[in-house]
Amino acid sequence: MQPLERIRAVAVPMPESDINTDQIVPGRFMHKPREDYGRYCFHDLRFDPQGKPRPAFVLNRPAYAGARILVAGPNFGCGSSREHAVFTLNDYGFRVVLAPSFGDIFFNNCFQNGVLPAVLPAEFAAALQAQLRATPGAEVEVDLAGQAVVAPDGTRCSFPIDTFRKERLLQGHDELDLTLSLRPYIDAFEARQRPLLPSTDTPRHP
Amino acid sequence: MYSRLRCREHRCHAVNIPMPDIPLFPANAQARPTTLFEKIWSSHAVTVRDDGQTLLYIDRHYLSDDLPTESYHVLERRSLPVRRPEATFAMPDHYVSTQGSSLADVVDDERRVMVQELARQARDHGVVHFGLGDSRQGIVHVVGPEQGLSLPGMTVVCGDSHTSTHGALGALGFGIGATEVSHVLATQTLWQLRPRTMEVQVNGRTGAGVTAKDIALAIIRAIGVAGAAGHVIEYRGDAVRELSMEGRMTLCNLSIEAGARAGMVAPDATTLAYLRGRPHTPRGLEWDDSSAGWLRLRTDPGAAFDRVALLRGETIAPMVSWGTDPSQSCAIDECIPFPEAIGNASQQEGLRRALDYMGLTSGQPLQGLPVDRVFIGSCTNGRIEDLRLAASAVQGRRARVPTLVVPGSGTVKAQAEAEGLDRIFRDAGMTWGEPGCSMCLAINGDQGRPGERCVSTTNRNFVGRQGPGVRTHLVNPGMAAAAAVHGRLVDYREELRHAAA
């Protein structure tokens, strides 16, 4: 996983609410190999049924070429748990998604892939959308270490993130190594607690 | 008791990782009143960090065939074994064909690889696999409960958002991503922030023909697709208590469509009656012990929820979705709303886009709307009770549009065939398929054509979900079967009344 500390890049405004993971990557591409997975990003919004780019779709506008930050609407990434949604955003080039709220599973999946999903207050998100629409191709700065977003007009806004996830993004580490180092705790838990938890053993048939 | 672990490699030294005193369920009667969710959560916390991240122990894990193959490579790259292979059960459902139950029937080579890879991984890691041709194979969320693999008080996860289904048994079931799947395989745990709790109470008697699907859509319509975001829902109230286990599974299944982390119903006599004698449920003395404990798994009187939503059962009618998310639904006897009548400017814009995609206009009645295709099945409505309801609405008539009926599992299929339901569907000219997810997300080759209006018992009416350009209307199984035999949307309660007369 690539570490993320600070990024200044072209940001794309996508104000629609409730964009689900089916929209981010249609299910019919889920079995495709990971290579160049960015080609499926927002596929049916980006391309018409004949495969031609839809000129009105924001990612098809030249001003947003090379964008690395997505400024999305509320409840972005709701729906299916498919981690492919994060794969495709990441492979397309997005390292940060800013939104007033996120779909739960999508939000967790972002951290597993080095993508920062930052929750912004609705007013700041709306102001950011307006600036990005007024000046297509404007850059936004995201400082993970300082937990702040700087809009094109210089206004700043902080965002919350727990230390666990922040550290992981800053270091580019996944959580598995940490958990494996806690094996004694899991062993102790199993020894103490498992007899009290519902049995997962298959009963012997009489 | 508390120790400070230093993790040099990850510089996590600043954070305490305490070993908590874990309350055991049944909860101590002296303790502060707690919710069902809190009892399960706290009894599964392996450790809690200062920043609130909890290492949660996972009892039951399901694997299906839609995982990116990278998830398995995580273990292979590090030469890690599966920590507890007996806690995980694998079965293909997303890519399997409904036309035949062999590998050769899978629609193409790329998708065949997905089914094969699951089988290979299960074999290599010693995980039980209900493969193609196994009479138990089917959709994870149908098979888990019916095999007695998901039990009250368990934490249940799967790399699929509809894992909320298992909450119907009084378990904490939630969907996870593919990387989290590999984490569960390697450690039998997950890092989680504790969600908030929400009580959804449905009181009063629901009318004839109103199903759990209708209750769920009415809830989502009322609170919105993000209405329960960040929360675990506990469904309560007499209308919920009266639901069968199949109905409770439908209700909990759709929790994710309101944005909830999970949905659950406290175990009661209905739960025990459902579980007793299933292949993997405890037997004999162990059953007596377990079932007595399960009945104590309930929210204590006076326990507080972070949020509460109330609904009256009498106000709910059979629902039909008219838009492109499940909250865009109304009763079959209502008309499609006007943008001015709902929400803020952004929601109004969303409604216009949805109607444009759906080829509908505000003020238009839903009753009588011609349909092109019907699908009956899925983890939402592919259980035996759903198929019985659908069959009862066919009543010896012929389907006027192509209709595919897909049982949720091999077990459901066998039961339906023993009851002659397959004959009713076949005689109506409907297709009776092999178990799987099929047209719910249309990635196994079953899909609609662009522009078609498809009436479906599934869970998501998203743009393109059932094929590019396909317009999905979510309904209950009786409504779907009635739409099939009429070739248009009808209020199937009329049908039921005529049949009774």
In sequence order, the β-bridge partners of residue B340 are none
Q: How many percent of chain A have pLDDT more than 70? A: 95
Q: Which of B155, B256, B295 to mutate to test the interface with A (most CBs of A within 10 A)?
A: B256
DSSP for residue A102: B
Estimate to the nearest angstrom the gap between the alpha carbon of B441 and the chain centroid: 13
| In a domain? residue A109 | yes
Q: Which residue carries 């998203």 as its tokens? A: B462
The answer to whether residue B451 neighbours chain A at the CB level (below 8 Å) is no
Residue B234 pLDDT: 98
Q: What is the mean pLDDT of chain B?
A: 92
**Whole-angstrom distance, CA of residue A31 vs CA of residue B329:** 31
| In a domain? residue B433 | yes
Task: Mark whether B133 and B197 lie in a shared domain.
Answer: yes
| In a domain? residue A116 | yes
Q: Final residue of a domain: which of B291, B314, B337?
A: B314
**C-beta of residue B175 within 8 angstroms of C-beta of residue B459:** no
> What phi, psi does B45 have (nearest 5°)?
-80, 110
| In a domain? residue B29 | no
CB neighbours (10 Å) of residue B128?
Answer: 16
DSSP B193-247: PPPEEEEEEEESPPPTT--HHHHHHHHHHHH-TTTTTTEEEEEESHHHHTS-HHH
User: Which is it for strands A69-72 and B172-175: parallel, antiparallel or unpaired?
Assistant: unpaired
In sequence order, the β-bridge partners of residue A150 are A141, A156
Interval B364-368 mean pLDDT: 97
Task: Mark whether B330 and B234 lie in a shared domain.
Answer: no
Residue B9 has pLDDT above 60, yes or no: no
Task: Mark whether B301 and B324 lie in a shared domain.
Answer: no
Residue B21 has pLDDT above 60, yes or no: no
Residue B16 pLDDT: 37
- Residue B389, CA distances (Å) to B138, B432, B474, B492 in order: 20, 15, 16, 11
| In a domain? residue B26 | no
Two tokens at B338? Answer: 């006007």
Question: ipTM value of the model?
Answer: 0.95
- Do the Cβ atoms of A22 and B46 come within 8 Å? no
| In a domain? residue A15 | yes
Task: Mark whether B111 and B197 lie in a shared domain.
Answer: yes
| In a domain? residue A62 | yes
- Do the Cβ atoms of A31 and B443 come within 8 Å? yes
pLDDT tens by residue, B139-197: 999 999 999 999 999 999 999 999 999 999 999 999 999 999 999 999 999 999 999 99
| A113-117, B50-54, B495-499: range with lowest mean pLDDT | B495-499
Of A15, A31, A206, the CB nearest to B114: A31
For chain B, how many structural domains are there in total? 2
Q: Which residue carries 């890879």 as its tokens? A: B117
Calculate how close chain B gets to A45, using CA atoms only, in Å.
10
Task: Mark whether B309 and B327 lie in a shared domain.
Answer: no
| In a domain? residue B117 | yes
**C-beta of residue B152 within 8 angstroms of C-beta of residue B267:** yes
**Whole-angstrom distance, CA of residue B382 vs CA of residue B151:** 20
Please report, for the domain that includes residue A40, its CATH number: 3.20.19.10
- Do the Cβ atoms of A27 and B86 come within 8 Å? no
Give the CA count within 13 Å in the CB-facing half-sphere of B340.
Answer: 1
Interval B254-282 mean pLDDT: 97
Residue B192 pLDDT: 97
- Residue B23, CA distances (Å) to A76, A170, B38, B43, B283 in order: 36, 35, 10, 6, 26
Q: Where does the pLDDT of residue B79 fall: very low under 50, low under 70, confident under 90, or very high at 90 and above?
A: very high
**Whole-angstrom distance, CA of residue B253 vs CA of residue A197:** 24
Calculate how close chain B gets to A27, using CA atoms only, in Å.
6
Two tokens at A27? Answer: 């299910």
Q: Where does the pLDDT of residue B102 fall: very low under 50, low under 70, confident under 90, or very high at 90 and above?
A: very high
Of A22, A181, A193, the CB nearest to B43: A193
Instruction: Please give the residue range of the domain that contains residue B69.
Output: 60-314
Residue A200 pLDDT: 65
pTM check: above 0.90: yes
Task: Mark whether B251 and B333 lie in a shared domain.
Answer: no
The answer to whether residue B292 neighbours chain A at the CB level (below 8 Å) is no
In sequence order, the β-bridge partners of residue B287 are none
Residue B377 has pLDDT above 50, yes or no: yes
Task: Mark whether B274 and B392 lie in a shared domain.
Answer: no
**Whole-angstrom distance, CA of residue B485 vs CA of residue B327:** 27
Instruction: Please give the residue range of the domain that contains residue A145.
Output: 6-196
Collapsing DSSP states into helix, strand and coil, what is residue B330? strand
Q: How many percent of chain B have pLDDT more than 90? A: 88
Residue B73 pLDDT: 87
Please report, for the domain that includes residue B482, its CATH number: 3.30.499.10
Interval B333-359 mean pLDDT: 89
- Do the Cβ atoms of A193 and B465 come within 8 Å? no
Residues 6+ away with beta carbon under 8 Å from B168: B145, B245, B248, B249, B251, B252, B253, B263, B264, B265
Q: Final residue of a domain: which of B264, B295, B314?
A: B314
Task: Mark whether B72 and B168 lie in a shared domain.
Answer: yes
Task: Mark whether B296 and B368 lie in a shared domain.
Answer: no
Residue A201 pLDDT: 66
**Whole-angstrom distance, CA of residue A78 vs CA of residue A88:** 15
Task: Mark whether B142 and B244 lie in a shared domain.
Answer: yes
Calculate how close chain A gets to B380, using CA atoms only, in Å.
14
Query: Which residue type does A5 have?
Result: E
Residue of B60, B72, B140 lying closest to B380 (CA atoms): B140
Calculate how close chain A gets to B204, using CA atoms only, in Å.
30
For chain A, how many structural domains are there in total? 1
Q: Which residue has the higher pLDDT, B5 or A3?
A: A3
Q: Final residue of a domain: which of B279, B314, B349?
A: B314
Residue B6 pLDDT: 33
Q: If residue A89 lies in a helix (H) or strand (E), which one and from where to where?
A: helix A84-92
Residue B19 has pLDDT above 70, yes or no: no
**C-beta of residue A38 within 8 angstroms of C-beta of residue A93:** yes
Task: Mark whether B301 and B323 lie in a shared domain.
Answer: no
Residue of B84, B39, B57, B183 lying closest to A185 (CA atoms): B57
**Whole-angstrom distance, CA of residue B314 vs CA of residue A112:** 45
The answer to whether residue B179 neighbours chain A at the CB level (below 8 Å) is yes
Q: How many helices and strands, by DSSP H and E, does chain B display?
A: 17, 19
- Do the Cβ atoms of A75 and B226 come within 8 Å? yes
Please write down the HEC assignment for all residues of A109-165: HHHCCCCEEEECCHHHHHHHHHHHHHCCCCEEEEECCCCEEECCCCCEEECCCCHHH
| In a domain? residue A203 | no
DSSP B388-418: HHHHHHHTTPPPSS-EEE--SBHHHHHHHHH
Residue B383 has pLDDT above 70, yes or no: yes
Collapsing DSSP states into helix, strand and coil, what is residue B332? coil
Residue B414 pLDDT: 98
DSSP B476-501: -HHHHHHHHHHTB---HHHHHHHHH-
| In a domain? residue A204 | no
- Do the Cβ atoms of A22 and B460 come within 8 Å? yes
Task: Mark whether B357 and B208 lie in a shared domain.
Answer: no
| In a domain? residue A205 | no
Residue A35 pLDDT: 86
Q: Where does the pLDDT of residue A169 fall: very low under 50, low under 70, confident under 90, or very high at 90 and above?
A: very high
